Amino acid sequence: MTKRIFITATNTDIGKTYVTKLLIRELTELGHRVGVFKPIETGVSDLPIDGSALLEVIQHHNKAMEHLTVDDIVPIQYVLPAAPFVASGGESIDMQKIDKALEKIETLCDIVLIEGAGGLMVPVDSELMMIDLIDHFKAKALLVTHCRLGCINDTLLSLNALKNAAIEHEWTFNCREDDNTFSEVSEPYFLKKDISTYHISRDLNDLAKALIKA
């Protein structure tokens, strides 16, 4: 059975697509046939930006996916850059369409990276939140968190949500060049609490191995 890893984040614009692309490369170098899938993308005026970037990278690393289109990678697309519930006008999400699209991807890989939209509590429709999709897919989660002021609160809230939902997960910091106060104002908390952390910039190989560990 294909192993599913769901990449989520503490909010939007945290670096899910960036981290997913890094993991495609790293897992491929570890000898796996990797696939990628983004069930829903909003803010699509022409082509899905994130989905197109993911398709380009996956087709480079997995030749079996060269015939796929961006619509295969992103089956549900909305124009309005908002939560799917809002972008769809409150319509129910077509999970059968999503599941069928994922099945097609999984015939071409042994690990599939599934990128969510926004954070865990983003409403997908009137019944489902993004965190519910992780459970639906029976996936292991990777939480990507930022390094700006406020990351302690954002990280702990998301980790608590994953824990309460009994979702197996790993998590990583995605620090950017301008996050120059992180080591002074946020990282000391995690170090003093002896909370084991990954940093995507230095621990990519270890993180990839942890994600695929049984």
> Which residues does the annotation mark as catalytic?
38
Do residues 1 and 111 lie in contact, with contact meaning Cβ atoms separated by under 8 Å? no
Give the tokens for residue 135. Answer: 């459970």
Structure tokens at 205: 């190989």
**What is the three-state SS of 157-168?**
HHHHHHHHCCCC
Residue 134 CB partners (closer than 8 Å, separation 6+): 6, 8, 116, 141, 165, 167
State both tokens at 2.
């294909």
How far separated are the first and last CA of the chain, in Å rounded? 12
CA dist., res. 145 & res. 85, Å (int) = 23
3-state helix, strand, coil in the chain (%, to 5): 45, 20, 40
Q: Where are the alpha helices (DSSP H) in 67-145?
A: 70-73, 84-87, 95-106, 130-137
Q: Is 178 left (phi over 0), alpha (psi -120 to 50) or beta?
A: alpha
